[in-house]
Amino acid sequence: MHEIAVTLLMRTLSDPTRRAVFERLSREGELTVGVLTRGAGVSQPAVSQHLAALKIAGLVRERREGRRAHYRAEPAGLAPLLDWFAHYSTFWPERFDQLEALLKDMD
Amino acid sequence: MHEIAVTLLMRTLSDPTRRAVFERLSREGELTVGVLTRGAGVSQPAVSQHLAALKIAGLVRERREGRRAHYRAEPAGLAPLLDWFAHYSTFWPERFDQLEALLKDMD
DNA sequence: CCATTTCATAAGTCATGACTTATGAATGAG
DNA sequence: CTCATTCATAAGTCATGACTTATGAAATGG
């Protein structure tokens, strides 16, 4: 099915530093490269490279404003991963029941 | 939270060959290394190495029977990944509503 | 026993990936 | 214009990872 997309997403999110960038964008909204670099624990080029990888995977969107580049999370890019999960949840009903309960609590 | 476990799971499942082994075990149940090797597209040692990686990640269990090693999927090992997903579903309600509906259909 | 089957491990190769420093392009400020 | 800021890209290093062939251990069958 979406094997290639799943592979790309898994590989992109498997790096802790890169995943932390994505998680921070998810939590804090739109951020510039400079702001993301402060607290990332790696150099600015490293952050730019992680953002490029996230962009290729469809997990992030860029908005240029003058010399600043603003990035924001694109959670819709997780769709293939969620589909993969839903497919294999057939073999794991109990755990998904918990998720269902969790989702109801969020309403 | 379970960052380390999430990283390990993502990294383990990011390889298409290894993920295919896990998916096949999920679909077909318990299989021996020899059976898994037929159709894996790689050598028997490669399959053994993938199984070892899946075992370390908690995605697979081994049962020795004479000289045969039977492996089966351990879907409970996906728990940290599911938790990660549930956490970031806060920013993505529509999509998870679909999953919720899908889960209800399975009841 | 002896040979065969089944699997795991060792060792080496090759590609990929995550990081660094260096640098340049583009914009903004004075 | 000049200089600083902001970011991306280039180039090189180093570790990791996926695969191979070779081999050995353990169990089975004749």
State pLDDT tens for residues B44-77.
999 999 999 999 999 999 999 999 999 999 988 9
Cβ-defined contacts of A91-96 (< 8 Å, 24+): A91/B26, A91/B73, A91/B75, A92/B75, A92/B76, A92/B78, A93/B106, A95/B75, A95/B76, A95/B78, A95/B79, A95/B82, A96/B82, A96/B103
Domains of chain A: 3-105 (1.10.10.10)
Q: A23 and chain B: CB distance < 8 Å anywhere?
A: yes
Say what the pLDDT of residue A76 is: 84
Distance from CA of A12 to the nearest CA of B (A): 9
Residues of A in contact with B102 (CB under 8 A): 86
| Average pLDDT of span A57-80 | 94
Quickly state the pLDDT bin for B97 (edges 50, 70, 90).
low
Q: Name which of A58, A61, A36 is nearest A48 in CA terms.
A: A36
State pLDDT tens for residues A39-60.
999 999 999 999 999 999 999 9
Q: What is the DSSP letter of B92?
A: -
Q: B82 and chain A: CB distance < 8 Å anywhere?
A: yes
Which residues of chain B (27-66) touch nucleic strand C at CB < 7 A?
32-35, 37, 44-45, 47-49, 51-52, 62
Interface of A with B in 3-22 (CB under 8 A): 3, 6-7, 10-11, 13-16, 19
pLDDT at B106 over 70: no
pLDDT at B20 over 70: yes
The 3-state DSSP class for residue B31 equals: strand
Contact B75 A91 (CB under 8 A): yes
H/E segment holding residue B65: strand B60-65
**Helix, strand, coil shares, percent, chain B, to 5:** 65, 15, 20
| Average pLDDT of span A72-100 | 73
Q: A1 and chain B: CB distance < 8 Å anywhere?
A: no
Distance from CA of B68 to the nearest CA of A (A): 25
Say what the pLDDT of residue B95 is: 55
SS3 letters across chain A: CCHHHHHHHHHHHCCHHHHHHHHHHHHHCCEEHHHHHCCCCCCHHHHHHHHHHHHHCCCEEEEEECCEEEEEECHHHHHHHHHHHHHHHHHCHHHHHHHHHHHHHCC
Q: B81 and chain A: CB distance < 8 Å anywhere?
A: yes
State pLDDT tens for residues A91-107.
555 555 555 554 444 43
CB B28 under 7 Å to nucleic chain D:
no
Q: For B31 and D29, how far is CA from C1' in angstroms?
A: 23
